[in-house]
Chain A
Amino acid sequence: MFVQLLDSIGQFGAGIGAGIAVIGVGMGIGRLAATSVESMARQPEASADIRGSMILTAALIEGVALFGEVVCLLIAVS
C-alpha cells in the first residue's frame, strides 16, 4: 500500500505547501491592513498616502506567496 501511496505523496506535498504559503501571506497582509487602518484613524489627512502604500505593499507581499504557489503548481502537474 505504501508503494501505491508513493505516487501521490508528491501531490500531497504540493497541496500542503500551497496551504502553508497562504497562511504566511494571510498573516502578513492582515498585519499590514491592521496597522495601516489604525494609522489612517490616527491621522486622517495622511489617508491617501497610507492607502497608496498599503495597496502597493500588499501586492509585493502577495508576490512572495505566489512564488510558493508556482512551485507547488509545478510539483502538482509533473
Chain B
Amino acid sequence: MTHFLSPVSFLRHAASQCLGVALVLCTTWGGGALATEPQNANHPAPGASTENLVHEMEAGEKFDVSETLMHHVIENHDWHIMDLPGTNGYTEIAVHLPWMLYHSEKGFQFFMLSEGSEHANEEKALQHGYALSHGKLHPVRADVQVLEAGGIPSEEFAAHLELDEAGNWVPKKGDHHVVRTHSGVLYAVDTEASVLDFSISKTPLHMMIVALLMLLVFTSVARAYKKRGVKSAPKGLQSLVEPVIMFVEENIAAPNMHGKHKRFMPYLLTLFFFIWISNMLGLMPLSSNIAGNISVTAALAALTLLVTWFSSNKAYWQHIFWFPGVPTGVKFIMMPVEIVGMFTKPFSLTIRLFANIAGGHFMVLALVSLIFILGDSGKSAAGAYGIMPLSVAFTLFILTLEVLVAALQAYVFTMLTAVFIGQAMESHDHHHEHATEDTATVAHA
C-alpha cells in the first residue's frame, strides 16, 4: 500500500485506478457487444432489410474481411458513428458531409447525400449526374443504356462486362468504363469529364477538429503567459504544455539546428502537437485517424521539404549539384544520386508515419474481425464467444502499443524535420571545423 501525502493525492490515485478498470470493462463489454451483433443482423423484420443503411452484413450475407477493413481505412464522405439496432433494421447515427465537386463542364456542384436509404441516395446522386458506388461518385452518362432490354449488354459495353457467380453482369475487375451501384444498376462512366473533389470528407473534418482543439489549448496557454509573465510558476494547462514545449526545444530543435532554432520553433511545435494529438484522438472510438491517410502524411512531408528549401543556403545546393571535394567525373554521378536523395527523405517521412498509424488500426480491425470470421458471420455463437477474450486481449495490447507509437512517431517526424532543416542551414565552414576538431583530439591522445 503506497503512502499518500494528502487526501487529494489519494483521491487522484483512486480515480486513475477506477478509470483503468472502467477502460478494461468498456473494452471487454464493447468486444462482447460486437460479438453479439451478428445475431441481431439476422433478425430484422422481413421485407425491411434492403432499405436500411447497414454497412455490416445484411441477412445471410457473408462477412467480407477485406471489404470491411478497406471501408474503415479509406476516405469516407460520412462520419459514421454507430448503428442502433431497432425493430425495423438499424437506425444509423452518422454525420453526413457535403460533396463539393468541380466538374469540367458543369462547374461547381455542392450537395449532400443524406437521404434515409442507399437507394434514395443513389437517386439523388443521379440527379446531379453521378452514380454512387461503394461510397464513391462516378460521373455517368445517364442517357446511355448499358444493358439492353432482356439483360444483354449492348455492343459498346460488352467488352467491359463479365458474368459473376449469381448470373448478373458486373464490370470487369479494374475496369473504369462501367460502374455498378449497390442496387445492381449498371451505368456508363463519362470518361471524358474530369471531376475534382474538394469535399470536406471525414479526414479533413477531423483535421479541422484537431486544429480547433489545438487553437483553443494553445491560445489559452499563450494568454496565461501574457497575463502572468514568464518568470512566475505556471498554473493549470500551462504546466501540462510547458514541459513538452521545452522538451521539443531542448532535445529536438537546439541540438540539430546549431543556434538558429528559434525561427523554426512554431513549425516544429505545430508538427509535433498536431501529429501527437491527431494520433491520440484516432485511438478513441467514434473518431477517425488522420495520419492513416497517406495524403495527409504526404502533405506534412511536403511542408517539411518546402521549409527545408526556403531555409537552405548556397552550400546546401552546392552539395547537391556540384559536390565539392571529389574528382569531376564523380561529381556528375553524385548529382542524380543527391537529387533523388533530396526527395527520398520526405518520402520516407510520409511512409513511416502512414504505415505506423494505419498499420496499428489495421491490426486492431483485423483482430476484431476475427470475432466475426470465427463466429461464421453470425451462425456460430460459440465460435464468436470463444475467440472474443483472446481477440479483445490482443486488441488491448495493440492499443497500448499504439499509445506509445502515437507519441514516438510525432517525436521521430519532428526530429527528422529538425535534422533536415539543420542540414540545409549548415554553413560550409562547419564541415571543416569538425574535421580539425577530430584531428586535434587524436593528436592530444
Binding site for B on A (CB under 8 A): 55-56, 59-60, 62-63, 66-67, 69-70, 77
Contact = CB atoms under 8 A, between A and B. Distances in A.
Contact of A66 (B70, B356, B408): B356
Interface stretch (B54-62, B76-84, B346-354): B346-354
B348 A67 contact: yes
Enumerate the 10 nearest inter-chain pairs by beta-carbon distance, A residue then B residue, closest first: A66-B355, A63-B352, A59-B412, A70-B355, A59-B408, A67-B351, A70-B351, A69-B355, A66-B356, A66-B352
Contacts of A56: 411-412, 415
Interface of B: 66, 70, 348, 351-352, 354-356, 359, 408-409, 411-412, 415
A9 B216 CA distance: 52
Contacts of B356: 62-63, 66
Interface centre among A60, A63, A69 (most CB of B within 10 A): A63
Given A69-B359, A77-B66, A63 B411 contact: no
Nearest to A78: B174
Given A77-B66, A77-B70, A66 B351 contact: yes
Contacts of A69: 355, 359
A66 B359 contact: yes
A77 B409 CA distance: 26
18 contacts: A56-B411, A56-B412, A59-B408, A60-B352, A60-B412, A62-B356, A63-B348, A63-B352, A66-B352, A66-B355, A66-B356, A66-B359, A67-B348, A67-B355, A69-B359, A70-B351, A70-B355, A77-B66
A22 B356 CA distance: 14
Contacts of B415: 56
Contacts of B411: 56, 59
A77 B173 CA distance: 12
Nearest to A52: B251
Nearest to A65: B355
A66 B409 CA distance: 13
Contacts of B359: 66, 69
Contacts of B355: 63, 66-67, 69-70
A66 B355 CA distance: 6
A55 to B, nearest CB: 7
B67 to A, nearest CB: 10
A59 B354 contact: no
A63 B348 CA distance: 8
Contacts of B409: 59
A63 B70 contact: no
A63 B351 contact: yes
Contacts of B66: 77
Nearest to B349: A63
A70 B359 CA distance: 9
Nearest to A67: B351
A69 B66 CA distance: 16
A55 B411 CA distance: 10
Contacts of A60: 352, 412
Contacts of A66: 351-352, 355-356, 359
B122 to A, nearest CB: 25
Contacts of B352: 59-60, 63, 66
Nearest to A57: B412
Contacts of B351: 63, 66-67, 70
B348 to A, nearest CB: 7
A35 to B, nearest CB: 20
A73 to B, nearest CB: 8
B358 to A, nearest CB: 9
A4 to B, nearest CB: 15
Contacts of A55: 408
Contacts of A77: 66, 70
A50 to B, nearest CB: 15
A69 B359 CA distance: 9
Nearest to B409: A59
B102 to A, nearest CB: 27
A61 to B, nearest CB: 11
A16 B323 CA distance: 40
A60 B415 CA distance: 11
Nearest to B408: A59
A59 B167 CA distance: 50
A63 B408 CA distance: 12
Contacts of A63: 348, 351-352, 355-356, 412
A63 B416 CA distance: 12
